[in-house]
Amino acid sequence: MTFTYRQPGVVLTDHTFTVPLDHDDPAGETIELYAREVVASDKADQDLPWLLYLQGGPGFGANRFIGKQAWLGRALREYRVLLLDQRGTGHSTPANRQTLPLRGGPAEQADYLTHFRADSIVRDCEAIRPRLTGGAPWTVLGQSFGGFCTVHYLSTRPEGLAAALITGGLPSLDAHADDVYRAAYPRIARKVAAHYARYPQDVDRARRIADHLLTHDVVLPGGYCLTVEAFQSLGIMLGTGDGSHRLHFLLEHAFVPTPAGPALSDAFQEQVQGLLSYAAHPLYALVHEAIYAQDARPTAWSAERARGEFPRFDAAKALAGDGPVLFTGESVHPWMFDCDPALRPLRATADLLAARTDWRPLYDRDRLAANEVPVAAAVYHDDMYVDTAHALDTARAIRGLRTWVTDEFQHDGVRAGGPRVLDRLLALVRDEA
């Protein structure tokens, strides 16, 4: 079933597709995929090439743009765009604490979620591509985890691609999750140091909040248990272009005076609840480390184990001295499933996924070395979410890939500078730059 409607300057069409849960068992269980087609109003009747957008994540539905926001306006000058809600996200058969019990217990839920990585997402794309393009290949724009999916696409189904554009999403081809997080914590520390250099008053503010959380039990309005580790995880904001500024404004009004003494303000608590809750994207927490799993080694809560190798991130030790409390970044930890009411019922499922030892490889070095698809990638210098050294190693492994290494943008460059970023990548794949 399709629905067509309009927004300023664009015509939108909603599509729903039925695909196998397991593409190796096409006659078995099916799930629904949702995607939104977007075309410029003055080109709606034209036969345009397609551009597929793969959102970052994992676990996030495609952007809900209004009109021609961000990079979309540039794309619509020459493409018909498909914004896909990857399986389990948005309107695509959602996977969350409410729906997963339909699968059975934690073991059944964990088995189900093994089908929600890049390999299944790419096979979804190939299942729906002929229905939309008539069989013609399309251009893919992959942001962050969407870039990981794009590299898998190049490894397994390159015939479906006219070109590949990647923003902040070149994965290591063979690093285990442990390697990813050991490389991440020093980058995170640099981002925190840069934040405190910009806003030195935040050093004392963060210490005061951390001290309060170590000595008080704080439950946010939506039921989230705000521990000091959870507070530190707000550092994920520091990987975006405006994140340092938003974190500063959050910290500046954390406390209010009350008859019982200083307390975290309602306004602060409400904002923190929205920033920390996984209610809208639980798959991010459930399969985040699994996107790095490619062999018999379990991920085994890699980010939590790696954190223990970097004692500077221990808030209690920082408070015992005079050092700053360090924020953390893009990482998932077992305590999140205790703190967040949207994740609590899924803790046993998450533990089983962390212990799993039957992950399939996601990338094929030989096929990438023989690549013939035009590929360009924006690599953000010292990206907090994706290690630059890993990204450049992968860029060298993909035949013909052209990189644009820049420190003009952070990980969200395709949002903050979308038209410029997309224009640059298109010029690179067309040998115009």
Catalytic residues, which ones? 144, 358, 411
Tell me, what DSSP letter sits at residue 103?
A: G
Beta bridge partners of 432: none
Q: What's CA 45's distance to the chain center, in Å?
A: 34
Nearest partner of 61 among 31, 33, 84, judged by Cα: 84
3-class state of residue 47 by DSSP: coil
Looking at residue 206, its amino acid is: A
Cis? peptide before 259, omega within 30° of 0: no
Contact (CB, 8 A) for 118 and 148: yes
- Which tokens go with 309? 């190798």
The DSSP string of 159-185 is GGEEEEEEES----SS--HHHHHHHHH
Specify whether the CB–CB gap between 192 and 325 falls below 8 A.
Answer: no
- Cα dihedral sign for 178, 233, 332, 242? negative
Nearest CA among 49, 56, 51 for reference residue 86 = 56
CA atoms within 13 A on the CB side of 36: 20
Of 271, 250, 275, 253, nearest to 262 (Cα)?
253
CA distance 397 to 369: 6
